[in-house]
Amino acid sequence: MATSQGVDVLKRCGFPETKWHGLGLRLGLKKSTLDVIEKNHPYDVSRCMTECLSQWLGRVYNVDSRGGANLDSLLDALRSMNETAVAEELKHHVLKEIFNSFYAVLSQTLCDPFPIAQSLSAEHMLTQEAFDRVSSANSFILNQRETLLTAVREAIQTDPNSLCTFANVLCEISSNKQLGQAILDDISKYH
């Protein structure tokens, strides 16, 4: 994640930039570093927030002792500041973006959509209605694939953790294992 992206996402998720100093401390930055940022950019909390995240992403000082510059560390820092709603929204945003980044490939190469739908239904990820839409889709694999991906997208919108379930189910079907593993690999980059 680039610094500007991180700031934008945190803003969209509701994090108040005025709390940048506390966030920096919880991410493992030294107080002296944060004081220099504040001195260099007085009264510009947006710039201070950007510089704080830049230092964190650069892994300076105690960042690695706090888990490194990754999503889990950021989520932990937000939660420790009682910004739980922001942390959950951020996690959901990242997982949705991962699914969206794979959507084009999935819509072209996903194999065996009906067995996937069965497994996802058994995992309670798909509603009965969504499963019925996939099973009643025209027997053309493209229609089933598109219907399944729409149902998966809906499930991820409701519960972004469903992306892990979806990827694990893909890994169980040999023709989709590589896709499932690629999704899991992307998820692990942030954890």
**Nearest 5°: phi and psi at 29?**
-80, 150
For residue 84, what pLDDT is reported?
94
What span, in angstroms and rounded, lies between the C-alpha atoms of 156 and 175? 22
Q: Please name the amino acid found at residue 155.
A: A
Domain ranges of the chain: 3-82, 92-189
For residue 72, what pLDDT is reported?
85
* Residue pLDDT, tens place only, 6-44: 778 898 889 999 999 999 999 999 999 999 999 999 999
| Sign of CA pseudo-dihedral 173, 153, 97, 143 | positive
Task: Please tell me if the domain spanning 3-82 has the same topology as the one spanning 92-189.
Answer: yes
User: Is 140 buried (19+), middle (13-18) or exposed (0-12) by CB count in 10 A?
Assistant: exposed
- Considering the domain 92-189 in this protein, what is its CATH number? 1.10.533
pLDDT at 2 over 80: no
Q: Which of 134, 110, 117 is nearest to 183 (CA)?
A: 110
What is the separation of C-alpha 74 from the centre of its chain, rounded to a whole number of angstroms? 12
For residue 141, what pLDDT is reported?
66
To the question of pTM greater than 0.75 for the whole model, the response is: yes
For residue 63, what pLDDT is reported?
76
- Considering the domain 3-82 in this protein, what is its CATH number? 1.10.533.10
Total length of the chain: 191
At residue 143 the predicted structure's pLDDT band, cuts being 50, 70 and 90, is: confident
